Structure 1
Amino acid sequence: MSLYGTMRTGVSGMNAQSNRLSTVAENIANANTTGYKRASTEFSSMILPSSNGAYNSGGVQTQVRYSISEQGATTFTTSASDLAIDGGGFFIVEAANGQEYLTRAGAFVPDSEGNLVNAAGFTLMGYEYEAGVDPTVVVNGFDGLTKVNLASEGLIAAGSTTGSMGANLPSGAAVGDVSETSLVVYDSQGNTRILDFTYSKVSANNWNVTIVDRTSGTTLVPAAGATPAAYPAAPAGMLEFDSSGQLTATSLTSVTTAAITGLPVTGADLGALTIDLTKTTQLGTSFKADGGTIDGNAPSKVAGYQIDSDGIVYIKYENGKLDPRYRIALANVQSPDKLRPESGNVYSQGVDSGVIITGFAGSGDFGEILSGALESSNVDIAEELTAMIESQRNYTANSKVFQTGSELLEVLVNLKR
C-alpha cells in the first residue's frame, strides 16, 4: 500500500466534500432568488489498478448537477408584470449585448424606455401581436423576436375596422315593414359616429339591410364598387332565411361598408368596416337587436396593462378597452437539466441539452403563463443544512485519513534513525 496514495485519496475526499459544501452554500445564498434552480454534487469513484500484494487506493470525483426541470413553488404578487410559468418552458430574454438566454426568473418591471426587464437586467422578448394572426415562429431560433415594450404616452385613439350586429327580425311582419337599430363606431381620430341599420321586409323570408352614416346621410352598404354577387339586392344587402328562421347558405352573412374620407369639420376618415351579420334571425317575436360590437376606441389614456395565460400582452385604457400588443415567446430543450447556467439566473444551450425550440404558452410542452406571480427557488433549506452537516463530518473523516497517512509516513522515516 502506498502511503502517498492514501494521503492523495484523503485529499480527493476533502476536495469532493469541499465541492459539495460549495453547492450547499450557493443554494442557501439563493434560497430567495426568483426562479433559481438548486445545484447538487454527485460523486463517482475512481479506481486505480492493484496487484495481489498491494492495493492502490483510488479517489472520488464530483460533478455538479442542476435541478432545472424541477419547478419551484408559485407565489402571488400585486404586480401584473411579475410572471411565472406553470409547467414547462422558459422565458426568452436578451442581455445588454444582444445575446438571447433562457430564464425562469420572471420578476419583470418596465425600465426607463418601457421595456420589461427582470432583476438581473435581462429584457423580455416576444412577437408583435396581430389580431387573428399567429406570429410566425422560427421554431429553432430567435429570429423575429422583439423587446416587449409598454411605453405609451398621451391620448391614443383607434379607428374602427370590424364589428358585428345581430338582431331578430319578426317573421310576422308584413311586406314593407321596417325595423331600425344603430351602432356607434369610431373614425380615425376617435370621434364617435352613428351608423343606422334599416331592415326592410321585401317578401317571405327575405329582408333588405342598409347601413347609413347618420351625420352625412351617406349610404355605406353596398360598398363602392361592390358586385351584385356580393350584394345581390343592391343598393341593399339581401338577408335570406330558411323555414327555421336561420340565414341560408346563399344569404348575405357579412357586409363591408364604403369608406368616407375627409369627414366635415374634423377632416378625419371613417375606414371601411366589416360587419358580421351571422347572428341575425327571423323568428315569431318582436324586433330585438343585440346591441352589436365594434373595435376601435375614443381618445383615452393608457391606464396599465394585462397579460393573459397565453402570454398576450394587452395595453389597458381608461375606458376599459384592451389593445393586444405582444405575445410572449417561450422556449424549451429536450434536456433542461443539461442547460449551461450563466450569471444572472439565466441559461444558455449546452452540448447535451438539445436544440432550443420556441413556441407559445399553452401549446405543446409549454405551460401557461401566470401574471402577478413568481416562481420561487426550489431550494429546501432543511435539506441543505442536513447536507452541510454530512459534508462537514465527511470532510473531517477524510482529513483524518490524510493525517493518519502522514503520521505513518513519519514513522517510516524515523525507522532510519
Structure 2
Amino acid sequence: MSLISVLRTGVSGMNAQSNRISTVAENVQNSSTTGYKRTSAEFSSLLIENNSTTNYTSGAVETKVRRAIGAEGPITFTTSKTDLAIQGNGFFVVQDENQAPYLTRAGNFVVDGPTGNLINSGGFSLMGYSLVDGAEPNPALNSTDGMVPVNMASLGLRATPSTKATVTGNLSADTTPLSGIVSPENFSKKSSIVTYDKLGNSVTLDIYLKRSVPTAGDATADPVIPAVLDNTWTAAVYDPDDVALTGPVTFVFGADGKLSGTTKANLTIPGGEAFSLDLSSMTQLAGAYDLKGTANGKAPSAVTGTEFGSDGVVYATYADGTRLGAFKIPLAEVKSPDNLNPRAGNVFQTTLESGDLQIGFAGLGGLGNVKSSALEQSNVDVSSELTTMIESQTVYTANSKVFMTGNELLETLMNLKR
C-alpha cells in the first residue's frame, strides 16, 4: 500500500467536494435568476491499474460538471407584455453588441432606450425576421442569417393606402331618367367616399350616378345601353378636381330590382394604389335613395404598443386600433442541449457535443409555444441544494480525516529510521 497515494486520494476527494460545493453555491445564488439552468458535479472513480489482491494502491475521484439545460423551469406570469417564456422545447436567438449569436431561455425583455431593441437583463438583443415587407420569412434551417433585432421603434408612423371599396343601398325606382353621358354636369344622384393615397392623405372620390333612358339614334345617348331601358344606370368616378378616373360604368337591374353578376369600377387613386369600387350590392326598389359606402385604407397612425402571438409573431398596435405583424420570432433547438456551452449573461453557445442549431417557429416541428407576460424561472430546487451542501460538507470532512490519517502514518514510518 502506498501512503503517498492515500494523501493524493484524500486531496482528490476534497477537491471533488469543493467542486460540488461550488456548483451548489452557484445554483443557490441563481435560484431567482430568470431562465437559469441548474449545474451539478458528477463523480466517477479513477482506479490505478495493476493493483494486486495483496497490495492495493488507492486511486482518485474525477469530477465532471453537468448542466440541466434541457430541463424546463416553472413559468410565472407578469404584467409586462414584453416578458416572454417558451413553454416546451426551444431557445430564443439573441445577439450581443458585437452581433455574435447566442441561445437563451431568459425572456425578460424590455425596450432599450438608445437603440429601441428588445433586450433582456443580460443586455442581449432579441432576434427575429422582419415582416414589414409583407413577405413570409424563409429562414435558413441551420443559420441565423436573415435575422434582425426586434425593434418596434423603427416602424414609426404607418399609412395604409386604399385598394377597394364597396357601395351598397338603394337607388330609388322613382328617379327621373336623364339622357346623355353621366358627368358632374349631368347626373341623377351623387355620393362621395373617402380613400387614402400611399402617403396617407385622404382623397375624396365623387361617384356620379344617372338613370338612363336613351332613344335609338339619340346623339346624346349613353354608349352600349341594353334593351331594358327603364332599369339602366351609369356611374362615373371623379377626383376632387373633377377629373374623370374611370369611364361610364353601365349596370342593369332586373325586374326584382337586383343586379345580376358583378359590377365594378376599376381605377387608380391619385398618388395611391389601383382601386376597385364594387357596386354589385345596390338595388333599385321603390322608396328613398339611400347609399352607404366603406373603403379600406388608413390615415397615418403611430405605434402605441406591442403584442406577441403564441406562434412568435410580434404585432405593432397603432393609435387607430389596428395592428400589424412586424416581426416573427424564431426558436432554435439542438440535439443535446445539456452539452451547450454556457456564457456570461445566462446565454449558451453551440458545441460539437451539442450539435448544430436548427431554426424553426413556435408550435412546429416539436418546438414549444411563446407565452407573453410570462417568464421561465430557474430550475433550481433550493431544498435539494441545501441537502447536497450538507452532504458535501460531511464528505469533505471525511476526506480531510483520510488525509490526516495518511499523514500520521507517513510520520510514523519516517520515525522508524530514528
What TM-score, normalized to structure 1?
0.77
Count of residue pairs the alignment pairs up: 382
Q: Is 2:338 the counterpart of 1:337?
A: yes
User: Relative to 1, partners in 2 of residues 1:306 and 1:16: Cα closer, same or farther, differing over 3 Å?
Assistant: same
Per the alignment, do residues 209 and 103 of structure 1 end up closer, same or farther by CA in structure 2, a change over 3 Å counting? farther
Q: Which residue is equivalent to 1:402? A: 403
What whole-Å deviation, never above 9, does each CA across 1:122-143 have from its counterpart, x for those lacking one?
1111111047631121111111
Counterpart residue number, 1:146: 148
- 1:304-357 CA distance string (max 9 Å, x none): 222222222222222212122211122111111111111111100111111111
Q: Partners of 1:148 and 1:7 in 2: how far apart?
A: 57
Q: CA 1:130–1:362 in 2, change beyond 3 Å: closer, same or farther?
A: farther
Are the aligned partners of 2:83 and 2:110 in contact in 1 as well (CA < 8 Å)?
Answer: yes
Counterpart in the other structure of 2:394? 393
Identity, in percent, stands at 47
Structure 2 equivalent of residue 119 of structure 1: 121
Contact 1:183/1:195 (<8 A) preserved: yes
Secondary structure of the corresponding residue to residue 352 of structure 1: coil
Q: Which runs of 5+ in 2 are unaligned?
A: 174-187, 212-225, 284-289
**C-alpha spacing 1:237/1:403, structure 2 compared with 1 (3 Å):** farther
Q: Any conservation in 1 of the 2:159–2:301 contact (CA below 8 Å)?
A: no
Aligned residue identity for 1:260: I
Tell me: CA distance 1:167–1:84, structure 2 relative to 1, closer, same or farther (3 Å). Answer: farther
Partner AA of 1:150 in structure 2: M
2:26 aligned residue: 26
> Which letter maps to 1:128?
S
Larger radius of gyration: 2
Report Cα offsets for 1:170-223 as digits up to 9, x if no partner.
Answer: xxx9xxxx999986532223234456899x9x89xxx9997846746677679x
Note if contact 2:234-2:250 (Cα within 8 Å) is conserved in structure 1.
Answer: yes
Amino acid at match of 2:150: V
**Corresponding residue of 2:198:** 188
One of 92, 117, 134 as aligned partner of 2:136: 134
State the match for 2:268 in structure 1. 259
Contact 1:210–1:219 at 8 Å: present in 2 too? no
Match of 1:302 in 2: 303
Q: Aligned-pair distance for 1:272? A: 1.5
| 2:142 counterpart SS class | coil
Contact 1:166 1:289 survives alignment (8 Å):
yes
Secondary structure, in 3 states, of the residue corresponding to 2:380? coil
How far apart, CA to CA, are the structure 2 residues paired with 1:235 and 1:271? 20
1:260 Cα deviation from its structure 2 partner: 2.8
Contact (CA 8 Å) 1:159, 1:270: kept in 2 or not?
A: no
Shift of the 294–260 alpha-carbon distance from structure 1 to 2, 3 Å rule, reads closer
How far apart, in 1, do the equivalents of 2:116 and 2:354 lie?
Answer: 33
SS of 2:315's equivalent in the other structure is strand
Q: Distance in 1 between matches of 2:191 and 2:202?
A: 16
* Contact 2:161-2:199 within 8 A present in 1 as well: no
Moved more, 213-222 or 400-409: 213-222
- Show CA shifts across 1:48-88 (max 9, x none): 12112211211211111111111111122222211111111
Q: Displacement of 1:386 after TM fit? A: 0.7
Q: 1:337 to 1:153 in 2, by over 3 A?
A: closer
* 8 Å CA contact 2:158, 2:302 repeated in 1: no
Asked if the contact 1:160–1:273 (Cα under 8 Å) also holds between the matched residues in 2, the reply is no
One-letter amino acid of the structure 1 residue matched with residue 130 of structure 2: E
Matched residues in 1 for 2:388 and 2:277: separation? 67
Instruction: Give runs of aligned pairs for residues 241-390 of structure 1, distance below 5 A.
Output: 257-261=266-270, 269-273=271-275, 294-295=296-297, 297-390=298-391
CA contact (8 A) 1:84 1:370 kept: yes
Tell whether the 8 Å contact from 1:5 to 1:56 is kept in structure 2 after alignment. yes
Cα 1:26/1:405, change in 2 over 3 Å: same
Aligned residue number for residue 266 of structure 1: none
Alignment of 1:138-177 (within 5 A): 138-151=140-153, 156-162=157-163
Distance 2:233 2:41 in 1: 77
Corresponding residue for residue 36 of structure 1: 36
Mapped partners of 1:216, 1:389: distance in 2: 88
Counterpart AA for 1:322: R
The amino acid that maps onto 1:118 is: N
Aligned 8 A contact 2:81 2:373 in 1: yes
Aligned residue number for residue 16 of structure 1: 16
8 Å CA contact retained: 1:187, 1:193: yes
Determine the C-alpha separation between the residues in 2 that align with 1:317 and 1:394. 62
1:389 aligns to what SS in structure 2? Answer: helix
Quote the Cα distance in structure 2 between the aligned partners of 1:276 and 1:61: 79
CA 1:167–1:104: 2 relative to 1, 3 Å = farther
Q: Secondary structure at the match of 1:188?
A: coil
Q: Name the amino acid aligned to 1:78.
A: T
Give 1:273 deviation, angstroms.
3.6
Checking the alignment, whether the CA contact within 8 Å between 1:221 and 1:237 is kept in structure 2 is: no
One-letter amino acid of the counterpart of residue 350, structure 2: Q
Say whether the 8 Å CA contact 2:37–2:68 is kept in structure 1.
yes
Question: Unaligned 5+ residue runs, structure 1?
Answer: 223-233, 240-244, 262-268, 283-287
Q: Is the 8 A contact 2:162 2:295 kept in 1?
A: no
**Structure 1, 26-35 or 157-166: larger mean CA deviation:** 157-166
CA–CA distance in 1 between the matches of 2:357 and 2:388?
34
**Does the aligned pair in 2 maintain the 1:331–1:356 contact within 8 Å?**
yes
Cα distance in 1, alignment partners of residues 62 and 295 from structure 2: 68
Note the C-alpha offset of 1:3.
1.1
Deviations 1:279-325 (CA, angstroms, capped at 9, x unpaired): 9899xxxxx99976734x22333212222222222222222121222
Shift of 1:414: 1.7
CA offsets per residue over residues 80-131 of structure 1, 9 Å max, x none?
A: 2111111111111111112111111111112112111111111111111047
C-alpha distance in structure 2 between counterparts of 1:209 and 1:409, whole Å: 116
